[in-house]
Amino acid sequence: MEIDFLLIGQGLAGTALSYRLLKAGRKVLVMDLPHENQSSRIAAGLYNPITGKKMVKTWKGDVLFPEIEPFYEQLEKELEINFLYKKAIYRPFLSIEEQNEWMGYSGEEGFQAYFQEIFQQTHFPEVVNPYGGILLAQSGYLDIPTYLDTYRDYLIRLDAYREERYDEEFLMFTETGVRYKEINAKGIVYCNGLGTMGSKYFSNAPFAPVKGEILDIQQDFVPDEIINRGVFRIPLSNGNLRVGSTYTWHDLDSGPTERAKEEIFEKLDKLMVSNEKVLVAHRTGIRPATKDRKPFLGKHPEFSSVYIFNGFGAKGVSLTPYFSKVMTDLLLNNQNPEKEVNISRWK
């Protein structure tokens, strides 16, 4: 079998990159273990331009956000299915000072693209928001399981997918690239999230896995908007709400914990006027995060046909549309990614 690129992993990373390569007319094969996916299938799928306790513009927001919706919408059209839910995010203000600060930002050019409206008084009576809040634009969520499953079917139709465990022991180098079993490729790309941690080619890549727990619940108040302060509360198409998530660097293997559930409920109870709720599901996953919280893109320093596209941490939905473009430029035009995200920043 002769192909251009063998991609390991079909999470958010492998999906976006393989699509860009196919659109550029390249032949790819994606090898994946969907039932072992530890991150993309658990994720809430949120993309949010203003994040964190202090509500700041997300890292590289101005280059990332123009790519997000057009990318997923193009795939929706191609696959004839809906998985992108564009939804405003409502972020209540915590104080009058914060309200004033954001009234100030609303006049600034760099922020205007992310604002829909600012409220100076309670906007939702069901939410604790005495100082009002801000409705953000260019936000929403991706139904990741639907996205991954329909894209996998598309790859299968193109004869570009294998459900198989990639075993590095079978990788060999040839004059033109690599050979894996009967597959000859110009290059191999590790898009397999934390699966890359066991690779001898990237054993020094400083991953810092972060466990996350997330709940599906039922509550009476189901607005169209996502509400986000301390926790996010996403209205799903089945009428449930997705709430979360936690961040821990320990207990990586212990599955759902009572402590995380309590943590999420505590934050939710602070956000909502009513504490009534029914728990429907409790899931956990591990984010392929990195020590400096920036992704890993690039080429192995010694084996020039071995590449990495990984480390998307807590933000795979918003990072992969833009960075899959950057990575495609490396694979096809030998254009090096900027230092901040280049794997070469680590020795």
Residue 205, interface with ligand FAD (CB under 6 A)?
A: no
- What does the DSSP 8-state code read for residue 224? S
Residue 312, interface with ligand FAD (CB under 6 A)?
A: yes
List the Cα angle 20/25/31 in 5-degree steps.
60
- Single residue of 75, 127, 214, 226 touching ligand FAD by CB under 6 A: 214
Q: Is the dihedral of CA 157, 22, 198, 38 positive or negative?
A: negative
- Cα separation, 271 vs 241, whole angstroms: 14
Q: Which stretch binds ligand FAD (CB under 6 A): 69-77, 121-129, 268-276, 316-324?
A: 316-324
The pair of structure tokens assigned to 234 is 């996403």
Where residue 305 falls (left for φ over 0; alpha for ψ -120 to 50; beta otherwise) is alpha
If DSSP codes are grouped into helix, strand and coil, which group holds residue 333?
A: helix
Residue 7, interface with ligand FAD (CB under 6 A)?
A: no
Site map 174..203 versus ligand FAD, x via CB under 6 A: -----------------xxx-x--------
Instruction: Answer whether 50's CB lies under 8 Å from 39's CB.
Output: no
Residue 9, interface with ligand FAD (CB under 6 A)?
A: yes
- Single residue of 150, 240, 310, 342 touching ligand FAD by CB under 6 A: 310
Other Cβ atoms closer than 10 A to 35? 7
DSSP run (H or E) holding 7:
strand 2-8
Instruction: Answer whether 133's CB lies under 8 Å from 92's CB.
Output: yes
Shortest distance in whole angstroms from residue 54 CB to ligand FAD: 19
Give the binding-site size for ligand FAD (rule: CB under 6 A): 43
Residue 306, interface with ligand FAD (CB under 6 A)?
A: no
DSSP run (H or E) holding 256:
none
| Nearer of residues 55 and 98 to ligand FAD, judged by Cβ | 55
Which residues, other chains included, contact 320 with Cβ-Cβ below 8 Å and sequence gap of 6+? Answer: 12, 13, 15, 16, 17, 312
Question: b/e per residue, 234-266, with b = 16+ CB within 10 A?
Answer: bbeeeebbbbbbbebeeeeeeeebeebeebbbe
Shortest distance in whole angstroms from residue 132 CB to ligand FAD: 25
Shortest distance in whole angstroms from residue 59 CB to ligand FAD: 13
Shortest distance in whole angstroms from residue 57 CB to ligand FAD: 16
Site map 233..262 versus ligand FAD, x via CB under 6 A: -----------xx-----------------
Residue 294, interface with ligand FAD (CB under 6 A)?
A: no
- Cα separation, 157 vs 247, whole angstroms: 38
- Single residue of 316, 327, 337, 343 touching ligand FAD by CB under 6 A: 316
- Single residue of 22, 26, 27, 33 touching ligand FAD by CB under 6 A: 33
| Nearer of residues 127 and 319 to ligand FAD, judged by Cβ | 319
Q: Which stretch binds ligand FAD (CB under 6 A): 4-12, 18-26, 49-57, 153-161?
A: 4-12
Residues that bind ligand FAD in the complex, under the rule CB under 6 A: 8-14, 31-34, 36-40, 42-46, 165-166, 191-193, 195, 212, 214, 244-245, 285-288, 310, 312-318
